[in-house]
Amino acid sequence: MHNFWNTKLALSDDILMKIEKPERYIGHEVNAVTKDPDSVRVRFAMCFPDVYEIGMSHLGIQILYDMFNTFEDCWCERVYAPWTDLDKIMREQNIPLFALESQDPIKDFDFLGITIQYEMCYTNILQVLDLAQVPLLAKDRTDGCPIVIGGGPCTYNPEPIADFFDMFYIGEGETRYRELLDLYEEYKDAGKTRDDFLKAAAKIPGMYVPKFYETTYNEDGTIKSFKPTVEGLPENIIKEVVKDMSNTYYPLSPVVPYIKCTQDRVVLEIMRGCIRGCRFCQAGELYRPVRERDVEVLKKYAVEMLKNTGHEEISLSSLSSSDYSKLPELLDFLIQECSKKHVNITLPSLRIDAFSLDVMSKVQDIKKTSLTFAPEAGTQRLRNVINKGLTVENIIDGSTEAFLGGWNKVKLYFMLGHPFETNEDIRGIAELSNQIAATFFDVVPKEKRVNGKIQITVSTSFFVPKPFTAFQWAPQNTKEQFIEKAYYCRGAITEQLNQKSIKYNWHDADLSVLEGILARGDRRIAPVILDVYKKGSFFESWTEYYKHDRWLDSFAEHGIDTDFYTSRPRNDDEIFPWDFISCGVNKKFLLNEWHKAQREEITPNCSQKCSGCGGAQFGVGICFAGR
Amino acid sequence: MIDIRVRFSKHGAIRYIGHLDVMRYFQKVMRRAEVDIAYTNGFSPHQVMTFAQPLGVGIESDGEYMDIRMNSIESCEALKNSINAHSVPEIQALSVKILPEGSGNAMASVAAAEYEIGFKHDRIPDCFKDSGAKINDKLKSFLAQDEIILVKEGKAGPRNVDIKDRIFELEWDEKEDCIHAVLDASSGYNIKPISLMELITAFLNDSLYENSLMIYRVDTYTRDDNGELLSMDLVGHAD
């Protein structure tokens, strides 16, 4: 008999032949990095706590994977959350979670890095730790266990998950890991303990070791104080920022998966940060100041990455691509380069204007694509409250031009539950949608209408106040209010003249309530998360696996009043659980924004005028560019 | 335009990659290798590329085929080297040949596939725990039946196919400790090795253990002008 190749795999043939998509667990992809384990001093497992296809699509992990593997003394491997079918088998057969490249157990690694991108993955973090056979609570881990380190946007309020992590890296990963690994090797060589290392690591800028900090509470449940318990540790942890975006790590040869992933394409991150300052948006504050990558560097990256991956699609990534100063030049280059190579360009949501419509008509099939607007609120008054600088004129002018160009599908995104929202604002969603439909019938003569129709899809999500935004003080709507608003919105749409052209979707209210609790939660939430996981919940961003009642029961069992975290009004001077972290934008600025929101006053964006948010303290980016 | 046939292997961990993903994989190989492959016209052009009979997940092979259309090539050898330099060790081009004009595409011209089928050592059914000569006698009586009915699941529901004349070779190879089989693999009549083994064990009043087989595809065949089986590799010529 032919000799089957003897390949080291953590899972047996029996398991791989039984489970869904075994490709998720075998590694061996093009551009995956393998090293001789004996030639490295640090084994780093990088985890996205969700299924492979989601995790593999995340740019941040690709950047760090590339960076770690340029370090000769370190081998960084990937690990994702096993899907429920394999999860069950691993528990039954006591198979420890393994890294994809070496197929070695994670529990033998030096570090387990976990990126935390959304609140609904918190129970997946516990699933990963559990399957890895690493104690779920940091306090139960001993010297042989990997150091569990968290990063990503959710770590700007790490408190609800602080019990599960040895440390957090606050800010952009490119800057301090070298220093951290050097320290780790030094302490490992000297035979120092886990605690010795953590104490020393907590002094590196951007590092937060929760066990060395203590919270005290007032009688009303709010925070009284938050202080380090070990001498010499900082009271404030300032996020890490990449100073030179054009001269840093970037994955020019990212791993190419076999199975189709959510992002099966080359991703070019053109800039970090956003000039806009919408008051509901957390990312817009966390990633300040705005820093662009040099257009020539990006052109070079695009060519190299397409060559190294063989992807047939490229897309741009940033919070607001229309604000990238060299966008026309970059797109011209990409359109030329990509048409030669039969590569498609997918455009991020661009502001709809003559320029973007021209570009879109060159790279997309107009009949198949839709225009996207995100007014977020239905009236100008409420758009002023949220500081969303998009006017009805912008939308109608953009639509008019698009309809004349042949588009006949429009997607509109709104949020329900903004602070200071009235029924009038909700009605405005319906009226604005109707006005867009009317514009179509006005400007496109009957004989030119494809199928004679315009399709408008209105989607509303429910607003969840997030830390480090002007709305961190805002009471969140209750589930009942959310649902009432969605019904009101639906009713208002059915009253419109063009209601037949408008389709309305709204999000799940339960999830938004929970997200709100976790987003502004504190350390008292952690036992509930642990409980819900122990009751069997994970993969909760999949609606079929989300069990809202488990959360309600667990909150009740722990005597936690969830309204405290969501719908409670907060005083201006309340100490928030995340106040010890500085993302650059200071609390005074945010409070002023909160007050301006109440007065319906707008704040100009960073390219118009500096509003002194505090982001300039990093000494880079738009704060110092000539306006 | 030059039509090219590529024979390739599939080994190791990559045997768990499904057919559709192998197709996507090769499109990316061609882009990485920057070879001058032809694209279809239209709004979303794609590479002119067809595959012979899909290989089941878990099976290793040295007899996979894909036909591609090239605008130009330097030489077959250069194309082979270029593909292999941009592919993983588990999938390698074994030969690259130029197809004569008018040869049918890879899928349509498939007639048969050759397999080695062995048992995992701890999962040999009793009916195969016997001497090589006796196993061969059993296989002969299996083949001597008036008809051998395989129930094939199709889009239009299950249908019965008599595969008696579609098993071209079937014998126990004592030295190699496995069955050697050449089976119809043409579109619509493809016989999966596991289906055959289920029929054989059932005929011998026995059954297969779960996931008990090791299957290796040796080669894939077409038919020549005289109707004889011919390795798909022998249709084309080098440069």
Does the beta carbon of A7 lie under 8 angstroms from any beta carbon of chain B? yes
Task: Let me know whether B224 and B141 are in one domain.
Answer: yes
* CB distance A378 to A429 below 8 Å: yes
Q: Are residues B128 and B156 in the same domain?
A: yes
Whether residues B97 and B127 share a domain: the answer is no
Q: Is A1 close to B32, i.e. CB distance below 8 A? A: no
* Domain annotation covers residue B239: no
Q: Which among A483, A286, A454, A278 has a CA at the least distance from the CA of A376? A: A278
Per CB-CB distance under 8 Å, the chain A contacts of B31 are 306-307, 309-312, 341
Q: Do A341 and B29 touch (CB under 8 A)?
A: no
Candidates A121, A157, A207, A224; CA nearest to A472 is: A157
End residue of a domain, out of B94, B109, B124: B109
Whole-number pLDDT of residue A351? 86
pLDDT value at residue A626 = 62
| Cα–Cα distance for residue pair A555/A314, rounded to 1 Å | 44
Instruction: Place B31 in a pLDDT band, splitting at 50, 70 and 90.
Output: very high
Asked if A246 has any chain B CB less than 8 Å from its own CB, the reply is no
- What does the alpha-carbon distance between residue B208 and residue B212 come to, in Å, rounded to a whole number? 7
> Of A5, A17, A258, which has the smallest distance from its Cβ to B12's Cβ?
A5
Question: Inter-chain contact B44–A344, Cβ cutoff 8 Å?
Answer: yes
Give pLDDT, residue A369. 81
In a domain, B142, yes or no: yes
Alpha-carbon distance A17 to A3, whole Å? 19
- Cβ neighbours of residue A234 closer than 8 Å, sequence gap 6 or more: A203, A228
Tell me which of B109, B143, B176 is where a domain ends: B109
Domains defined for chain A, CATH in brackets: 25-238 (3.40.50.280), 265-364+582-627 (3.30.750.210), 365-506 (3.30.750.200)
Distances (CA, A) of A587 to A89, A132, A466, A614: 48, 39, 13, 9
Which pLDDT belongs to residue B105? 76
pLDDT of residue B170: 98
Mean pLDDT value across chain B: 95
In whole angstroms, what is the distance from residue A333 CA to residue A316 CA?
13
B49 is a domain residue: yes
Q: Does B119 lie in the same domain as B227?
A: yes
pLDDT at site A361: 87
Owning domain of residue B61: 2-109
Q: Is the pLDDT of residue A354 over 80?
A: yes
B237 in any annotated domain:
no
pLDDT above 90 for A130: yes
Within-domain flag for B65 = yes
Q: Write down the mean pLDDT value for chain A.
A: 96
Residue B135 lies in a domain: yes
Q: What is the pLDDT of residue A276?
A: 93
Pick from B62, B84, B109: which residue ends a domain? B109
The verdict on B120 and B99 lying in the same domain is no
Does the pLDDT of residue A627 top 70, yes or no?
no
In angstroms, the separation between the Cα of residue A539 and the nearest Cα of chain B is 24
Please tell me whether residues B95 and B186 are part of one structural domain.
no
| In contact, A547 and A555? CB cutoff 8 Å | no
**Are B60 and A1 a contacting pair at CB < 8 A?**
no
Tell me which chain B residues have a C-beta less than 8 angstroms from the C-beta of A260: 21, 24
Strands (E), A116-151: 147-151
The label of the residue with tokens 């122990």 reads A534
In a domain, B238, yes or no: no
Residue indicated by tokens 């010529």: B237
Same domain membership, residue B225 and residue B117: yes
CATH of residue B55:
3.30.70.580
The pLDDT tens digits of the residues spanning A170-225 come to 999 999 999 999 999 999 999 999 999 999 999 999 999 999 999 999 999 999 99
Q: A215-225, pLDDT tens digit by residue? A: 999 999 999 99
E strand residue ranges, A15-95: 42-48, 74-80
Do B96 and B167 have their domain in common?
no
Considering the domain architecture, whether residues B94 and B119 belong to the same structural domain is answered as no
In a domain, B236, yes or no: no
Q: Do B96 and B139 fall into the same domain? A: no
User: Which of A4, A260, A264 to probe by mutation at the B interface, max B CB count within 10 Å?
Assistant: A4
Instruction: Tell me the Ramachandran region of residue A266: left when phi exceeds 0, alpha when psi lies from -120 to 50, beta otherwise.
Output: beta
Q: Say yes or no: B93 and B73 in one domain.
A: yes
Number of domains in chain B: 2
| Interchain CB distance below 8 Å, B58 and A13 | yes
Same domain, B218 and B178: yes
What confidence score (pLDDT) does residue B239 get? 80
Asked whether the beta carbons of A160 and A521 are under 8 A apart, the reply is yes
Contacts of B16 (CB under 8 A, 6+ apart): A16, A17, A22, A23, A26, B57, B58
For range A434-445, the mean pLDDT? 94
Cis peptide before A289 (omega within 30 of 0): yes
